[in-house]
Chain A
Amino acid sequence: MLNRFKSIALCLTLAGLPVMALAAEEGDAESWLEKMGRALREESYEGIFTYMRGYQFDTVKVVHKFEDGKEKERLLHLNGDQREVLIDGDTVTCRHEPGADVDLEREVSLGPFTHAFNENLANYQSFYDFTLTGHDRVAGRPAIRLEITPKNNDRYGYKLWLDEATGLLLQSHLISQGHVLEVFQFSRVDIGDPVDDSHLLATLTGDVVVHQLAPNEPDTATATAQARKPDWRVAWLPNGFRQVRTTSPNRILFSDGIATFSIFVEQGKSSRLGEIVTHMGGTVVITRRLKNTAQQITVVGEVPVDTAKRVAESVEPVIY
């Protein structure tokens, strides 16, 4: 009996150790988030991940290299039609076999976050709770678990598994009120080894269709954007969301530091889509007409549908 008690006590002690170590040595959740943002851009890694968003699931081989301040990446889809996306700085090229209906697929970004985390938006702590929840193992690597819980149901929550050595995102769940909407997971990854440039070269060759996706916008467009104000405004944003990026007066990206959504306004072209409310995994797409005009507004992003609707409803024309 005494022995049994001892072993229980021992178990409890051992179980407690990682938690104490976690608190003492590994910093806070916010610094892990910063580490993650940096790792997504600046680490070099090669691996295979799956990303399930609603009915679309992708298994993708990724090669990522950071060199001279520039990211290079190759994403090769392993399921379905042969497709490959090559990223070199701001240039994105898509290669696919003839006949593949790439318009019907969503391009793959690396998990749900990519650049969203290095925005340095102040006070996002006001809208989420961040908790380190322990250690785990993903793709054979020790991982640290992090939970991001919204204080309000107007946005989603996240569970993240970050590589302990580098902070790279190894796995994530996008959660809405306890239900998992999206799952991202590396099944294998090598991080930090030098990436051979040949691994970044296109592997789909021969009879393939190559199309360059427009770079995000040439710099001149940015300059123009600065000169031209949009003739619409958003009257309501969820608390903490701010305009963070725009490539033209017709597209603006908003973020609270964690979640993002974009608003597009098509000018001078009447909407053929009408009013649509739809979703793919945790991403909502809403179209409607701008008040008193024929212009189409589209709200796209990783926010609950009611939040997106309220935003869409609040967009209004501005007359200067």
Chain B
Amino acid sequence: MTDNLKESLSAWIDGEASEIEVHRLLRQFESDASLRPSWVRYQEVRSVIRGERRLDADIHLALQDRIRAAVDVEDTFDERPATLSRPGNRYIKPAVSLAAAASLVAAVLVGVNLTNRSPEPEGVAASNPAITAPAANAIGAGPIDAQPVSTGAARVASMDQESFEPDGQQLELRELSDEQQRQLRAYLNQHDRMVRMNPNLRTVIYEAPANQ
């Protein structure tokens, strides 16, 4: 692993990777199969380190499963002796294994994300300031009941002025209860389907839609 790559990885884990670095990481993964085992180990190490920071057990397990699955896939995908030997899924079809490289990248992406579920969200997705912003804000759409409201009450309306808010308490969808998830995903799926619809067939414009 080159220093550049290490630097990018480290930046990513700290939530500070630039777009260019993210791209480089993706690229490196795809092009160099020999990097993957060390990536995975790196992730495992990081997750242990992160474990000190109140990494939820179930998330940790999920991460481990993902890593394991990734390694399994890789065993099949990469004909060379696997660095981390595990009982791999040898039955995977060629078509599936073609996707393995990409899915491993995704696994690691998700892994990075998961390892950062600490009180200070720093991961890829979590580092979006808009998304980690405290749920209480100027327009008053409050957080769910169980969620501690950030007391940094007066949020500036201009998003340009937003900075990272490390105490952001916004939950990811899957942290909600199963029932809440089920209901919200129904909306997600409906939204996806509306977006997918053939616009030529189904556009309806009301006379005076609510606007501005």
> Which residues of A are interface residues toward B (Cβ below 8 A)?
41, 48-50, 52, 54-57, 59, 61, 71, 78-79, 90, 92, 103-107, 109, 114-116, 118-119, 152-154, 159, 173, 175-181, 183, 185, 187-188, 213, 216-217, 222, 225-226, 229-230, 232-237, 242-247, 251-253, 260-262, 264, 272-288, 298, 300-301, 304-307, 309-310, 312-313, 318
Contact = CB atoms under 8 A, between A and B. Distances in A.
A54 B182 contact: no
B140 interface: yes
Nearest to B101: A187
Contacts of B141: 275, 277, 286, 288, 309, 312-313
B159 A92 contact: no
A300 B191 contact: yes
Nearest to B136: A277
Contacts of B4: none
Interface of B: 15, 17-19, 22-23, 26, 69, 95-96, 98-99, 101-103, 105-107, 109-110, 113-114, 124-125, 127-131, 133, 135, 137, 139-145, 159-160, 162, 170-176, 178, 180-199, 201-207, 209-212
6 contacts: A109-B196, A153-B162, A179-B15, A229-B207, A277-B141, A306-B137
A226 B204 contact: yes
A274 B173 contact: no
B113 A216 contact: no
B209 A275 contact: no
Contacts of A187: 98-99, 101-103
A55 B102 contact: no
B113 to A, nearest CB: 6
Contact of B197 (A105, A245, A276, A301): A245
A115 B196 contact: yes
Q: Which among B69, B159, B171 has the highest number of chain A CB atoms within 10 Å?
A: B159
A78 B195 contact: no
Given A106-B188, A237-B211, A300-B191, A50 B102 contact: yes
Q: Which among B110, B175, B186 has the highest number of chain A CB atoms within 10 Å?
A: B110
A55 B95 contact: no
Given A287-B184, A310-B139, A304 B130 contact: yes
Contacts of A264: 187, 190
Contacts of B195: 109, 114-116, 253, 260, 262
B105 A177 contact: no
B95 to A, nearest CB: 7
Given A105-B185, A109-B192, A153-B162, 9 more contacts: A226-B204, A243-B210, A251-B194, A277-B141, A278-B172, A283-B191, A301-B191, A305-B170, A312-B141
Nearest to B132: A305
A222 B199 contact: no
A288 B69 CA distance: 38
Q: Which among B105, B139, B191, B207 has the highest number of chain A CB atoms within 10 Å?
A: B191
A143 B11 CA distance: 27
B106 A50 contact: yes
A148 to B, nearest CB: 13
A57 B107 contact: yes
Contact of A185 (B102, B159, B191): B102
Nearest to A303: B130
